[in-house]
Structure 1
Amino acid sequence: MNHNEPILGELESLLEFYQAAGVDACLTENPLDWFEESARQTTKRLQHGHNPPRETAEHAERPPSRQPSGSSVMPVGAAPSVQGPATGHTATIPDAAVVESARDAAAKAQNLETLCSILEEFEGCNLKLSAKNLVFADGVPNARLMLVGEAPGRDEDLQGKPFVGRSGQLLDRMLHAIGLDRTNVYIANVVPWRPPGNRTPTPQETEICKPFIKRQIELANPDMLVFLGAASAKTLLGVQDGIRKMRGRWMTYDLNGRTIPCVATYHPAYLLRSPLEKRLSWRDFLSIRSKLHKQDNEHI
């Protein structure tokens, strides 16, 4: 009798659970002593003639404290960047300086192709370290209708396109029901990299990515915006209402001084979990179709 079989069976079950939960990336294989790393980075900057901030210098003068085994919590005064676990890129502390660098980078894009290239080179968002692909957009850039979600999932990360998994297939059917498809809409996400395990992006990650999606909307220049879920609406409109209170209510988005109509509806992934809510999303999409037809009549 093989006494290892129960252990192997438990490990297989655990791996199946992680896979079903969407976990497919290991961020660190070994614990990292951030105090020691901070002191090393400070010494490196001093060797190159850079004067560190006072807090960092004082921290370097103290003997480095040891974190408990297996801990990877970053303390105050840690180094601004460390080597990424598997990609060779560096991890970045998501501070105000990184947000400002995102704004500067996004502002330089004169078209959507350039914006995509800038995002591919941007190193300020740590989600890039674990994501397989940049998920920039799908559809046609000059479409009248632009749909914005929160962040890509596993299928989107693998293919590099937004809304291509089960929720994307449902979205395609919803669009088709009102006479639209990906040849006459433009689709993007606030966050263009998949968070590990499909977790919710942190407020810092969203803030870093916000300048890019705002510039993407400016360059796409749609006549109407549809927010898929409350997260994208809250990020871009600054509202705090939940999706149940917000959905179906027409609002406006400021686009370079031009206000365009926008509406929030349930995210397709939520509808897969709560199919009874599809009737409300159907009302929202009928309202979107009516709004598009009204705009057509006004332009005649």
Structure 2
Amino acid sequence: MGAIPTFDTAPLDSALAASLLDWWHDAGVDLLVEDAPRDWMAEPVQPVTFAPTPLTPAAPRTAAPVMAPAPTLLPDTLAAFLEWRLSDAAPEASWDGVSLTATGPADAALMVLVDCPDRDDGEAGQILSGAPGRLFDRMLAAIGQSRDTVHLASVCARRPLAGRTPADLETRLADIARHHVGLIRPRGLLLLGNAASRAVLGTELTSARGHLHAVDHKNGKSQAIASFHPRFLIEKPMAKAESWKDLQLLIGELAK
């Protein structure tokens, strides 16, 4: 065996190649060849030193103030807000698909917020259609509510390409969702799914579940409960018992 390691000449897979490049980069190698040839046998040239020349300090310059962009004001009436959510000014206007507006009474005691429309909701023309919608209707009936009595909305007016709220728009869409809650001023707020929980509570669903949260807004305060989205309950029926516990907390709040 020789002292110099040998490598298989077969092509390296991308992960191994990236690992080797990272190793050389960490070792300080940042180029393969130089532009000009170098005489490696020549004697090193001693550097020439110069006496420092005193510099006259330049007059201080006052930096121009940086102007922060003015925040986009959201409509302060529900009718104008819902119209704006469907306009080209909304953050999701450039996404594929159609925008779906919120439904239900403006003075509803219960507001329900989900993450985004499902794939079939655009054709149906409403948020929560198909099998998730039928399960949602049964959940509402179990607490004495219906689509006619609740205000139903989504964090995203259109469905994102990957089905998840884009990270670069998450903060903006969360501000819009909380503004929407303030316009409705519901006594109870049901947040279905992780994206809805993050938008309003700033907390992951796994941590938010199981207790009420006071949500302050410019028009007062609402009590929120976070629970599983109906599409999750269809995939994981065992979670329905936990969902029912969440709904019971909500029932107690609405009964006050």
Residue in 1 aligned with 2:202? 238
Shift of 1:172: 0.7
Residue from 190, 200, 216 that aligns with 1:254 = 216
| Unmatched 5+ stretches in structure 1 | 1-95, 296-300
Q: How far apart, CA to CA, are the structure 1 residues paired with 2:86 and 2:219?
A: 29
Query: How far apart in 1 are the matches of 2:225 and 2:165?
Result: 22
2:172 paired with 1:208: yes
Q: 1:167 aligns with which of 122, 127, 132?
A: 132
Aligned-partner Cα distance in 2 for 1:208–1:238: 13
User: Match of 2:216, as an amino acid?
Assistant: D
Q: Output the CA distance in 1 between the equivalents of 2:164 and 2:218.
A: 29
Aligned-partner residue type, residue 172 of structure 1 = D
Partner of 1:114: 80
Q: In the TM superposition, what is the alpha-carbon distance from 1:140 to its structure 2 partner? A: 1.7
Q: Secondary structure at the match of 1:121?
A: coil
- Amino acid paired to 2:206: R
Partner residue of 2:55? none
The letter for the 2-side match of 1:116 is L
CA spacing shift, 1:124–1:173, aligned 2, 3 Å: closer
Match 1:158 to one of 123, 131, 134: 123
CA RMSD for the aligned pairs?
2.0
1:216 & 1:249 partners in 2: Cα distance?
22
Q: CA deviation at 1:279?
A: 0.7
Provide Cα deviations, 1:48-102, integer angstroms capped at 9, x if missing partner. Answer: xxxxxxxxxxxxxxxxxxxxxxxxxxxxxxxxxxxxxxxxxxxxxxxx96xx66x
Q: Which stretch shifts more, 276-285 or 161-170? A: 161-170
Percent of residue pairs identical: 25
1:148 Cα deviation from its structure 2 partner = 0.7
Cα distance in 2 for partners of 1:179, 1:149 equals: 20
Alignment-derived partner of residue 264 in structure 1? 226
Q: Which amino acid letter does the alignment assign opposite residue 267 of structure 1?
A: H
Give the deviation of 1:238 after TM superposition. 1.9
Equivalence for 2:8: none
CA contact (8 A) 1:134 1:160 kept: no
| Deviation by residue 1:195-246 (Cα, 9 ceiling, x = unmatched) | 12x521212222232332222111111111111012211122222xx42332
The structure with the largest helix share of the pair is 1
Cα distance in 2 for residues equivalent to 1:124 and 1:181? 28
Match of 1:280 in 2: 242
Tell me the secondary structure at the aligned position of residue 152 of structure 1.
Answer: coil
Where does the alignment leave 5 or more consecutive residues of structure 2 unmatched? 1-67
Quote the residue 2:150 is aligned against: 185
Instruction: Give the conservation status (yes or no) of the 8 Å contact 1:246–1:264.
Output: yes
Per-residue deviation, 1:115: 0.9
Task: Give how far 1:154 is off.
Answer: 1.3
Instruction: For 1:234 and 1:272, locate their aligned partners in 2 and report how far apart those are by CA, in whole Å.
Output: 22
- For 1:144, the equivalent position in structure 2 comes to 109
Shift of residue 170, structure 1, vs aligned partner? 0.8
| Aligned residue identity for 1:232 | A
TM-score computed with the length of structure 1 as normaliser: 0.58
Q: Any conservation in 1 of the 2:212–2:249 contact (CA below 8 Å)?
A: no
User: Within 1, Cα distance between the matches of 2:129 and 2:244?
Assistant: 20
1:210 and 1:249, CA in 2 relative to 1: closer, same or farther beyond 3 A? same
